[in-house]
Amino acid sequence: MLLTKKEARQKFITALANINPAAKQKNENLIYQQLFASNIWRDASVIGITISQNIEIDTKPIIEQAQLENKTICIPRTLADWQMEFVELTDQTNMEKTSHNLLEPVNGNVFSHDEIDLMLVPGVAYTEANFRLGFGGGYYDRYLANFNGETVALSLPEQQNGEFTWPIKPYDIRIKHVLVAMEDEIQ
């Protein structure tokens, strides 16, 4: 069923909000295993990632693993005109809640597009062709238009488009890899 992006976003957000917490945690652990076992992860030195919200895959274990492996973590900070930049996350990083109710850094070193090896791209849902339905601001599509590193999205089974689809626009950026939590995909 073809829905508008707004309708599809609401359906998927509702589905994510209703996931059993134990099932969500099990699937998150499967995703972490897939990510940490991948060559893309091993080869990355600088990783762009968000501070997750409740309905999203928890990014805290990913950030902690990256720090254990001495990888540099960068998190987004929104700017005017629907733009964003990525700022290094360190012990000295001060965070602030934005009008979007997201935690963002208020200080720190900004990393350019070409300094980030791996971008873990958030989303509400994903198509089989690796297009994502974001949260509606267009920040990531604008940023990824000039990004040449690896892009990976982490997906719970409930985030796969299945019976619902939405229009793909010319400015929608395809994600290179979407890891879906599925037990049979773990090596």
- Going from the N-terminus, what domains does the chain have, and what CATH number goes with each? 5-185 (3.40.50.10420)
- According to the 3-state scheme, what is the secondary structure of the chain? CECCHHHHHHHHHHHHHCCCHHHHHHHHHHHHHHHHHCHHHHHCCEEECCCCCCCCCCCHHHHHHHHHCCCEEEEEEECHHHCEEEEECCCCCCEEECCCCCEEECCCCEECHHHCCEEECCCCEECCCCEEECCCCCHHHHHHCCCCCEEEEEECHHHECCCCECCCCCCCCECCEEEECCHHHCC
Q: What is the mean pLDDT of residues 95-121?
A: 93
- Asked if residue 30 has pLDDT above 80, the reply is yes
- Per the CB < 8 A criterion, the answer to whether 92 and 108 are in contact is yes
pTM (2 d.p.): 0.92
For the chain, helix, strand, coil in percent to 5 are 35, 25, 45
Burial of 70: CB neighbours in 10 Å, binned 0-12, 13-18, 19+ = exposed
Mean pLDDT to the nearest integer, 144-154: 97
What is the C-alpha separation between 182 and 187, in angstroms, rounded?
11
For 123-136, the pLDDT digits (tens) are: 999 999 999 999 98
Binning pLDDT at 50, 70 and 90, where does residue 119 land?
very high
pLDDT per position as a tens digit, 36-81:
999 999 999 999 999 999 999 999 999 999 999 999 999 999 999 9
Which pLDDT score, from 0 to 100, does residue 162 have?
A: 79
pLDDT at 172 over 60: yes
* pLDDT above 60 for 186: no
Q: What is the pLDDT of residue 183?
A: 58
Q: Is the pLDDT of residue 185 over 60?
A: no
Mean pLDDT of 116-122: 98
Tokens of 164: 């619902």
For strands 95-97 and 150-155, give the pairing: unpaired
